Amino acid sequence: MENPIRKILEMKHIGKVFPIAGNTLEVLSDISLTIEEGSFLSIVGVSGCGKSTLLRIIAGLETATQGHALFRGNPIVEPSIEIGMIFQESRLFPWLSVQDNIKFGIYASTDRDKDMVDEHIRLVGLSGFEAALPKQLSGGMQQRVSIARALINRPDILLLDEPFGALDALTRIQMQNEILRIWETHRATMLLVTHDIDEAIYLSDRIIVMSKRPGNIKKTLAIDIPRPRDRNSESFSRIRREIFLEFFEDYQGESNLEYYL
């Protein structure tokens, strides 16, 4: 008998409203979603649709105005080591070395700290750079340090908030391959927010397309293309165009849509 699919994360009718200068701004509206353990899910949508806000609610950094986010059936009310997060900026301490930045992420220190740090330095491909300061690293290498720091407590879920957005195109592709390798090794559930449709298709088992603000789920697509994926294949292009059509409705004629084709 096959093992049953296990839910790790549930969002039930999530809504979020921000008070601004005596008024209210509705950012999220009635988000309901279930995420399976060990899966790789991406969320795409136009700027301002609430993607990052949703991620922050899952991380316990924001509180939903309505509804609930549940981790293994329990409400998420604060940050925890079971849910790690990586931001667009590496957010490293500039005065600490690579190994000390990673060590800083350890929640409960033990006599295995050094072994754990060394293990995660190898995992992200930074052997030989243990003593380097952030200013001595490229942008991609800095993000590798952030990934290692987020993974060192062995979180069950890793949230990625546009982690490759500031990188050049070639480094971005390299980091996409790296995060896939780490996902296959670590098997944490991964949830990625991105503006890059190709990135979402290349990495994900499933893609959520959100509407413009107030954000809700317009469409869910299962990505059944075998890995490694060819970005020029017919199946890849078909999914790209399908997502593009959802974007087109929300951009309403903006001139930079050729990027998504």
Percent of the chain with pLDDT over 70: 93
Predicted local distance difference test score (pLDDT) of residue 255: 44
Please return the burial class of 131, using the count of CB atoms within 10 Å of its CB with bins 0-12, 13-18 and 19+.
Answer: exposed
Asked if residue 83 belongs to a domain, the reply is: no
Asked if residue 10 belongs to a domain, the reply is: yes
| pTM for this model (two decimals) | 0.90
The residue among 119 and 108 whose pLDDT is bigger is: 119
Asked if residue 233 belongs to a domain, the reply is: yes
Task: Categorize the per-residue pLDDT at 48 as very low, low, confident or very high, splitting at 50, 70 and 90.
Answer: confident
Could you give the number of structural domains in the chain? 1
SS3 of 191-211: the string is EEECCCHHHHHHHCCEEEEEC
Asked if residue 141 belongs to a domain, the reply is: no
Residue 164 φ then ψ, to 5°: -110, 10
CA distances (Å), origin 86, targets 79, 106, 146, 190, 201: 13, 15, 7, 11, 20
The CA distance from 257 to 237, in Å, is: 15
Bond from prior residue into 228 cis (ω within 30 degrees of 0): yes
Q: Could you tell me the residue range of the domain that residue 20 belongs to? A: 1-78+196-261
- Residue 259 maps to which CATH number? 3.40.50.300
Asked if residue 204 belongs to a domain, the reply is: yes
Predicted local distance difference test score (pLDDT) of residue 183: 92
Asked if residue 111 belongs to a domain, the reply is: no
Asked if residue 164 belongs to a domain, the reply is: no
